[in-house]
């Protein structure tokens, strides 16, 4: 069976993300599972001096999985095995990547884990990994060390083993991820907590948002900018040029969880940046803004317009609008300039209440060309 991973996620477009129905979709395996399979096979090959065609490992999810080897290179002092990653039906940038593990004898007792070509190096605090070390997360690290230890057995009683994980295309693949923002340079991360990837899993996406906030906090950023996607992040960077890039976090649909994480990590000031679609949901208190869940509510937006002095005719048009963007066009054409600041105020109020007044909160509402339509602010309690 081939392997896969849920790796360094790339956030979906903020206005158009709509994951498919997951029923009947194939699961895969994490990069951590792939690396563990390669390391286990390379250990067996080193001990037996025989090629290994497949290997079975135990996953943290509590099940066994069998991986076919792509390569198995034999040597007296070192063996190298690799697995081709199969992402299942998850849209993963590392689908088809070769995950390699070299196991070599060492004069130093014990099992030593290294990162090779294409595995990122940690340069910022906040990831729970040693700065300067390889971006191999704790669960995969434990999986690899335990599997290699079991495969080696008594053979490492008097000498050690060095395990080097590499990804030949890792540098290229990392450009399609958020690793650079998190301070991971030179390659991808080796990830996974269960060993199994579920297609379109929001768990990994949410974890990446929390991780980005952790990195911002660990590097002294008390002002965090939470954006609903890549475009609004670029627009917010123009508005807030003095902030470090690490302070900007693409929260996607996870506003509520991101706010709680900011409180937990000691942030003092949060700026939310987005467009009318997501802001219309946040203004109603829907702090998980998945398009397949909470829908844009035109009657609600019509009531906001009423509060800003909209005519009955305009309110009726807004009530029957097709999309939030249509509402934006209607209010702009009508010259209802107070609409966008009022919507921003409602966003701030909902988020301030969710954070229990523990954060100073701003909101920046942009149009699709980056023009600031409205903003609002509320101090900490």
pLDDT given at position 207: 84
Residues 6+ away with beta carbon under 8 Å from 372: 235, 239, 364, 365, 366
Higher pLDDT, 268 or 22: 268
For residues 103 and 4, give the distance between their C-alpha atoms in angstroms, rounded to a whole number: 21
Question: Shortest CA distance to 368 belongs to which of 229, 189, 245?
Answer: 229
**Average pLDDT taken over every residue of the chain:** 89
Instruction: Classify residue 323 as left (phi > 0), alpha (psi -120 to 50) or beta.
Output: beta
**pTM attached to this predicted model:** 0.74
pLDDT for 295 beyond 80: no
Average pLDDT over residues 55-77: 94
Give the CATH number of domain 28-197. Answer: 3.30.2110.10
pLDDT given at position 206: 84
pLDDT given at position 252: 85
pLDDT in tens, 173-194: 999 888 888 899 999 999 888 8
> What is the pLDDT confidence band of residue 244, given thresholds at 50, 70 and 90?
very high
pLDDT given at position 103: 98
**Per-residue 3-state assignment (H helix, E strand, C coil) for the chain:** CCECCCCCCCCCCCCCCCCCCCCCCCCEECHHHHHHHHHHHHHHHHHHCCCCCEEEEECCCCCEEEEECCEEECCCCEEEEEEEECCCCCCCCCCCCEEEEEEEEECCCCEEEEECCCECEECCCCCCCCCCCECECHHHHHHHHHHHHHHHHHHHCCCEEEEEEECCCHHHHHCCCCCCCCCEECCECECCCCCEECCCCHHHHHHHHHHHHHHHHHCCCCEEEEECCHHHHHHHHHHCCCCCHHHEEECCCEHHHHHHHHHHCCCCEEEEEECHHHHHHHCCCCCECCCCCCCCCHHHHHHHHHHCCCCHHHHHHHHCCCCHHHHHHHHHHCCCCCHHHHHHHHHHHHHHHHCCCCCEEEEEEECCCCCEEEEEEECCC
Question: Shortest CA distance to 143 belongs to which of 165, 121, 159?
Answer: 165
pLDDT given at position 17: 40
pLDDT given at position 177: 85
pLDDT in tens, 32-43: 999 999 999 999
Average pLDDT over residues 275-293: 80
Angle at 240 between CA 239 and CA 241, to 5 degrees: 105
Q: Rounded to the nearest 10 degrees, what angle do helices 298-307 and 339-354 cross at? A: 110
pLDDT in tens, 107-166: 999 999 999 999 999 999 888 899 999 999 999 999 999 999 999 999 998 899 999 999
pLDDT given at position 26: 76
Confirm if 236 and 225 have CB atoms less than 8 A apart.
yes
pLDDT for 66 beyond 50: yes
Burial 262-300 (b: 16+ CB within 10 A, else e): bbebebebbbbbbbbbbbbbbbbebbbbbbeebebbbeb
pLDDT for 12 beyond 90: no
**Per-residue 3-state assignment (H helix, E strand, C coil) for 350-363:** HHHHHCCCCCEEEE
pLDDT for 293 beyond 70: no
pLDDT in tens, 321-376: 988 999 999 999 999 999 999 999 999 999 999 999 999 999 999 999 999 999 99
pLDDT given at position 113: 97
pLDDT given at position 322: 85
pLDDT for 318 beyond 50: yes
Which residue reads 């010259």 in tokens? 335
Average pLDDT over residues 3-19: 37
The full set of domain ranges for the chain reads 28-197, 202-378
> What is the pLDDT confidence band of residue 170, given thresholds at 50, 70 and 90?
very high
pLDDT given at position 88: 67
| Percent of the chain clearing pLDDT 70 (strictly above) | 89
pLDDT for 1 beyond 50: no
- DSSP β-bridge partners for residue 102: 80, 164
Residues 6+ away with beta carbon under 8 Å from 250: 11, 178, 209, 212, 227, 228, 229, 230, 233
pLDDT in tens, 91-102: 578 888 999 999
In 10 A of CB 329, how many CB atoms?
14
pLDDT for 14 beyond 80: no
pLDDT given at position 23: 52
pLDDT given at position 24: 55
């Amino acid at each position: 069976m081939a392997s896969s991973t849920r790796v360094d996620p790339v956030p979906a477009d903020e206005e158009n993300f709509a994951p498919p129905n997951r029923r009947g979709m194939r699961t895969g395996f994490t990069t951590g599972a792939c690396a563990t399979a390669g390391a286990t096979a390379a250990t067996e090959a080193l001990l037996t001096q025989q090629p290994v065609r497949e290997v079975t490992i135990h996953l943290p999810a509590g099940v066994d999985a069998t991986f076919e080897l792509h390569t198995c290179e034999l040597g007296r002092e070192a063996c190298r095995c690799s697995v081709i990653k199969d992402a299942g039906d998850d849209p993963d940038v590392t689908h088809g990547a070769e995950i390699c593990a070299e196991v070599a004898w060492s004069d130093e007792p014990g099992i030593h884990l290294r990162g090779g070509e294409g595995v990122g190096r940690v340069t910022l605090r906040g990831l729970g990994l040693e700065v300067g070390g390889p971006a191999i997360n704790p669960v995969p690290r434990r999986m690899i060390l335990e599997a290699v230890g079991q495969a080696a057995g008594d053979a490492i009683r008097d000498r050690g083993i060095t395990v080097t994980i590499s990804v030949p295309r890792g540098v290229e693949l990392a450009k399609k991820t958020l690793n650079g923002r998190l301070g991971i340079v030179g390659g991808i991360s080796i990830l996974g907590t269960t060993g199994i990837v579920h297609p379109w899993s929001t768990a990994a996406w949410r974890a990446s948002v929390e991780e980005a906030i952790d990195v911002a906090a660990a590097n002294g950023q008390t002002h965090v900018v939470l954006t609903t996607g890549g475009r609004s992040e670029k627009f917010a960077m123009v508005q807030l040029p003095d902030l470090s890039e690490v302070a900007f976090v693409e929260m996607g649909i996870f506003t509520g969880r991101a706010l709680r994480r900011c409180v937990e990590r000691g942030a003092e000031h949060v700026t939310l940046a987005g467009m009318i679609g997501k802001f219309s949901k946040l203004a109603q208190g829907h702090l998980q803004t998945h398009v397949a869940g909470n829908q844009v509510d035109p009657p609600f937006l019509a009531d906001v317009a009423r509060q800003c002095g909209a005519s009955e005719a305009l309110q009726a048009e807004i009530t029957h609008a097709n999309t939030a963007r249509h509402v934006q066009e209607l209010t702009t054409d009508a010259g209802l300039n107070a609409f966008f600041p009022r919507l921003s105020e409602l966003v701030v109020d909902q988020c301030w209440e969710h954070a229990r007044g523990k954060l100073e909160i701003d909101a920046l509402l942009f149009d699709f060309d980056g023009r600031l339509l409205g903003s609002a602010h509320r101090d900490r309690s």
